A and B are shown apart, each in its own frame.
Chain A
Amino acid sequence: MKMIMGMMGIPPRLHFWMPRPTQELYLIWEDMAAMEKKWGKDKVKDVQRESSFTFL
């Protein structure tokens, strides 16, 4: 249910409290939203900028 709600684009605040299943389809967008909530948009941008150089 949590996964489907996430895929439907329902805001994470409406389903973040639901327990995560043992087997879960990983969607990066959920963690991007969690990062923004925790760090703020500017820090997420900084992290992404830095990570773009990781394999170079």
Chain B
Amino acid sequence: MTANNKFYWSFGEKPPFNFNKCYPLDEKTSTLVDNKDTPIGNDYMSPVVWGIAEVTSTTIEGVEVGAQYLGLLPIGDSVSFAKASLKDGSIVIDRPATFAAYNSFNKIESDTAMSTSCEYSDLALVCFPGIVTGHGLYFRMLEQNCYGANAIVITSASSKVALAMAFYMKNDPNKKFENIQIIGYTSNNNMQFCKQTGLYDSLFCYDDILPPGKKYVVVDIAGRADIYTRNMNKKGVDIIKLLVVGNASGIEDKKSTFSAFTIMQR
């Protein structure tokens, strides 16, 4: 299990994600709960994980038996969907109870690292969702010119999303981030690892305050409202943008920046 799975668990019952509604257990057919005297109701569901599914049977034109698709799957051997369609090469499941973006299964081409023909397909599968998000954040910073900031602060600096984002900024082919300071927040335990990556210009522990005199964009992957609040209250620390990305630290309720958004939508 990774921080990614932890995120699905934390937000299983919270809109707009509703991950627990992806694969609810059917008490009439499920063999996962032994005690048939106790109704399952809505209390049980299959945890969701990113995985590769191989098509064993299909009625959708354009979807071939044996083809592999990447998507959010239940832990188990097989899954079947009553209704699905093909859109731009991806299988889209009809599942209105969950966030639409997670209802799409993308075909795995043989030349990607996730293909089972690749030696490291397992590692690639674990890393890929984080890398995609890290690349998206890099793209956002490019498109928005870092919102006018001269420093980007990434919390949970040892996470896959943070490492990918920092990696792409450091290796930008046009050197657009040459004058942008990349700062990481991490725990004492992961400080040495983060230093060794060489991806961060500065690293801070979670209790540290940012130095004044710069304009910051905070990319909060840890989901720690305390970092944002502490720095916002410090004179001279100018945070011009907060992007709330994840909840890697698993902080619940009001202490989590992420929770603030999900609560707001109820």
Interfacial residues, chain A to chain B (CB-CB below 8 A): 3-4, 7, 9, 20, 22-29, 31-32, 34-35, 41, 47-49, 51-56
B124/A52 in contact, CB under 8 A:
yes
Q: Is B127 an interface residue (CB 8 A)?
A: yes
Which of B101, B128, B244 contacts A29, CB < 8 Å? B101
9 further A-B contacts with Cβ under 8 Å, apart from A49-B112, A51-B135, are A7-B265, A22-B241, A23-B242, A26-B245, A35-B136, A41-B88, A52-B114, A54-B164, A55-B124
A25/B244 in contact, CB under 8 A:
yes
Q: How far is the CA of A35 from the CA of B101 in the complex (A)?
A: 16
Q: Is B7 an interface residue (CB 8 A)?
A: no
A24/B16 in contact, CB under 8 A:
no
Interfacial residues, chain B to chain A (CB-CB below 8 A): 16, 88, 99-101, 109, 111-114, 120, 123-124, 127-128, 131-133, 135-137, 139-140, 143-144, 160, 163-164, 167, 219, 240-245, 257-258, 261, 265
Minimum Cβ distance to chain A for residue B167 (Å): 7
B139/A31 in contact, CB under 8 A:
yes
Minimum Cβ distance to chain A for residue B208 (Å): 21
Minimum Cβ distance to chain B for residue A12 (Å): 13
B244/A53 in contact, CB under 8 A:
no
B242/A54 in contact, CB under 8 A:
no
Q: How far is the CA of A33 from the CA of B94 in the complex (A)?
A: 21
Minimum Cβ distance to chain B for residue A16 (Å): 11
Can you list 17 A-B contacts (CB < 8 A)?
A3-B261, A4-B265, A7-B16, A9-B100, A26-B137, A26-B219, A31-B137, A34-B139, A35-B136, A41-B88, A48-B112, A51-B128, A51-B135, A52-B114, A54-B167, A55-B124, A55-B127
B99/A48 in contact, CB under 8 A:
no
Minimum Cβ distance to chain A for residue B225 (Å): 10
Chain A residues in 8 Å Cβ range of B144: 20
Minimum Cβ distance to chain A for residue B28 (Å): 32
B240/A22 in contact, CB under 8 A:
yes
* Cβ-closest 5 pairs across A and B: A52-B113, A31-B136, A25-B261, A28-B136, A55-B127
A51/B241 in contact, CB under 8 A:
no
A48/B111 in contact, CB under 8 A:
no
A56/B143 in contact, CB under 8 A:
no
Minimum Cβ distance to chain A for residue B242 (Å): 5
